[in-house]
């Protein structure tokens, strides 16, 4: 089995991100498998070298190691272009000249999938060669994949059966943005396949992206991995833990000089793997069991954090 952690270094890692890293690492180590690190730094403006340094330091401090040289998405555009070209040869990709505002105006439903904006109504799906060259003169296109109609089904290793009609909910989706950068959906599929990842464990904010990714695996004739989506860690305000929740930044906790076993104890408690008392990595490997992972979001309480760290 081959697993991976694929962070975007756009801020300091908090305990929610770290928990996903830990669980992926535990899943791989418990199975005697390989664990890889991939740096998802396609968003050049938001990814900063100091966040990458912090990330390495965080992982090392906890003892989470990886087995091969990390892949950097920012260095892999040629591979993404090859995959896109393959889709183009099959007529599965087309240039799209729509702006966000145009898509919102044309959309019949206000929202498709939360973060991803409204469903794309297919405005540019059937442009003639002439229209394409005409529009290319004034605007650089994005490229969209022709989503297949009908439900995509898969069984998540934690959440169970999941189905989504990508065409109905999201519509044709972007594989290359109009600033020339490959989309997350394309890059993640190409990279997981290139790294021969067999098990993807990540936060359940990405569960709704998985059907799109499965359509790309199929279109590119690549074997899809197994997926396990863990419910996110929420702050006390009920919002997902974010880079703004400074108290839960691992760099902050490292700086407080408490041993990593204290942090591991808290992460284990959030994962059904412990009662919050300090714990070592090897004993977590021995304890790891997918069936005890929580199916609902976990709430991170500052009081619990202070207890776990022995700070009061
Ligand atoms: N880079 C993504 C993130 O930090 C994770 C991608 C994935 O695990 O598929 O949210």
Q: What are the mean pLDDT values of the chain's consecutive 10-residue runs (312 residues total)? A: 97 92 98 98 93 95 97 98 98 95 74 72 96 96 97 98 97 96 98 98 96 98 98 86 74 86 94 94 97 92 80 72
Indicate whether residue 55 lines ligand 1 (CB < 6 A).
no
CATH code of the region 77-187: 3.90.800.10
Which pLDDT value is given to residue 244? 63
Residues 6 or more apart in contact with residue 180 via CB below 8 angstroms: 140
* Residue found by looking up tokens 């002439």 in the block: 130
Q: Whose CA is nearest to atom 2 of ligand 1?
A: 7
Residues 6 or more apart in contact with residue 8 via CB below 8 angstroms: 39, 40, 41, 43, 46, 47
Same fold, 2-75+190-308 and 77-187: no
Which pLDDT value is given to residue 254? 86
Domain segments of the chain as ranges: 2-75+190-308, 77-187
Whether the Cβ atoms of residue 177 and residue 86 lie closer than 8 Å to each other: no
Ligand 1: atom nearest CA of 7 is 4
- The Å distance, Cα 9 to ligand 1 centre, comes to 10
Q: Whose CA is nearest to atom 7 of ligand 1?
A: 6
Whether the Cβ atoms of residue 279 and residue 224 lie closer than 8 Å to each other: no
- The Å distance, Cα 275 to ligand 1 centre, comes to 28
Alpha helices (H) in the chain, listed in sequence order? 15-30, 49-62, 77-89, 100-106, 129-136, 166-169, 184-194, 210-219, 250-255, 260-269, 281-287, 302-308
Whether the Cβ atoms of residue 142 and residue 174 lie closer than 8 Å to each other: yes
Which pLDDT value is given to residue 252? 83
Indicate whether residue 189 lines ligand 1 (CB < 6 A).
no
Whether the Cβ atoms of residue 172 and residue 142 lie closer than 8 Å to each other: no
Q: Among all residues, which ones are annotated catalytic?
A: 243
CATH code of the region 2-75+190-308: 3.40.50.620
- The Å distance, Cα 5 to ligand 1 centre, comes to 8
- The Å distance, Cα 310 to ligand 1 centre, comes to 32
């Amino acid at each position: 089995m081959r697993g991976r952690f694929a962070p975007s270094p756009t801020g300091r890692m908090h305990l929610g991100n770290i928990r996903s890293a830990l669980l992926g690492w535990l899943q791989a180590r418990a199975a005697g498998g390989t664990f890889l690190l991939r740096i998802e730094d396609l968003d050049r403006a938001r990814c900063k070298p100091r966040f990458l340094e912090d990330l390495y330091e965080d992982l090392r401090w906890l003892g989470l190691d990886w087995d091969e040289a990390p892949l950097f998405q920012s260095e892999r555009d040629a591979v993404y272009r090859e995959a896109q070209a393959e889709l183009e040869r099959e007529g599965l990709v087309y240039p799209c000249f729509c702006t966000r505002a145009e898509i919102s105006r044309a959309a019949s439903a206000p929202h498709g999938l939360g973060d991803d904006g409204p469903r794309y109504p297919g405005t540019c799906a059937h442009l003639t060669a002439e229209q394409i060259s005409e529009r290319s003169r004034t605007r650089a296109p994005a490229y969209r994949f022709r989503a297949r109609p009908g439900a995509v089904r898969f069984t998540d290793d934690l959440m169970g059966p999941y189905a989504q009609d990508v065409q109905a909910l999201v519509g044709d989706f972007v594989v290359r943005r109009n600033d020339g950068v490959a989309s997350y959906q394309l890059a993640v599929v190409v990279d997981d396949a290139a790294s021969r990842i067999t098990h993807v464990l990540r936060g359940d904010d990405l569960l709704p992206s998985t059907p799109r990714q499965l359509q790309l695996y199929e279109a590119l004739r690549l074997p899809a991995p197994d997926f396990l989506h863990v419910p996110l860690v929420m702050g006390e305000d009920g919002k997902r833990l974010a880079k703004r929740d400074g108290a839960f930044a691992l760099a902050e906790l490292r700086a407080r000089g408490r041993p990593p076993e204290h942090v591991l104890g808290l992460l284990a408690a959030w994962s059904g793997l412990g009662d919050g008392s300090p714990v070592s990595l090897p004993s977590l490997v021995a304890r790891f069991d997918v069936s005890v992972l929580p199916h609902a979001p976990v709430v991170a309480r500052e009081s619990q954090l202070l207890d776990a760290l022995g700070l009061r």
